[in-house]
């Protein structure tokens, strides 16, 4: 099964945190990211200054060249609406960016590789590939 990689793991890779462990946990699976992750990464570039911005931009642009960014399509939006309504009815809201990332994974039949299992574990139908710190 292919895997959708969450932003938190990519930030850890940029920082050099647990790179070998993350790569081992992801294995040889095909990898993709959500367009939401693209936005989050680029926002991180724009918030950085000086040499940090230059390094971060190079890292992010390399990632964007290597990973397929999955768009928000009608099927993704439909899954998003279902998750949003379900969690709202249960009084268990999840951040809007995380909802879009989860909906993308579910709509495409992908596991989600993340360290943020606290939020994502509450989403029905989402298959997690948790990654340890």
- Of 117 and 64, the structure prediction assigns the larger pLDDT to 64
Q: Which secondary structure element, helix H or strand E, spans residue 93, and what is its range?
A: none
Mean pLDDT of all residues in 13-34:
85
Residue among 11, 86, 77 at smallest CA distance from 41: 11
Q: How many domains does the chain have?
A: 1
Alpha carbons 95 and 74: distance in angstroms, whole number: 20
Lateral strand order in the sheet of 128-130: 68-70, 31-34, 3-5, 111-114, 128-130
| Residues 26-77 pLDDT 10s | 888 899 999 999 999 999 999 999 999 999 999 999 999 999 999 999 999 9
pTM given for the model:
0.92
Q: Residue 133: its pLDDT value, please?
A: 59
Q: Which secondary structure element, helix H or strand E, spans residue 4, and what is its range?
A: strand 3-5
- DSSP codes, 40-66: HHHHHHHH--HHHHHHHHHHHHHHHHH
Q: Residue 17: its pLDDT value, please?
A: 79
At residue 111, does pLDDT exceed 70?
A: yes
Q: Residue 25: its pLDDT value, please?
A: 81
| Domain harbouring 18, CATH code | 3.40.50.1010
Which domain, by its residues, includes 51?
A: 3-130
């Amino acid at each position: 099964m292919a895997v959708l990689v969450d932003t938190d793991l990519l930030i850890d890779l940029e920082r050099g945190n647990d790179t070998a462990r993350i790569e081992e946990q992801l294995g040889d699976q095909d990898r993709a990211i959500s367009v939401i992750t693209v936005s989050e990464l680029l926002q991180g570039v724009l918030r950085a200054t000086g040499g940090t911005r230059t390094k971060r931009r190079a890292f992010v642009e390399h990632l964007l060249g290597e990973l397929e960014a999955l768009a928000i399509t009608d099927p993704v939006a439909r899954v998003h609406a279902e998750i949003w309504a379900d969690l709202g009815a249960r009084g268990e809201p999840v951040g809007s960016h995380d909802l879009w990332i989860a909906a993308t994974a579910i709509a495409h039949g992908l596991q989600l590789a993340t360290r943020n299992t606290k939020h994502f574990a509450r989403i029905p139908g989402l298959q997690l590939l948790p990654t340890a710190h």
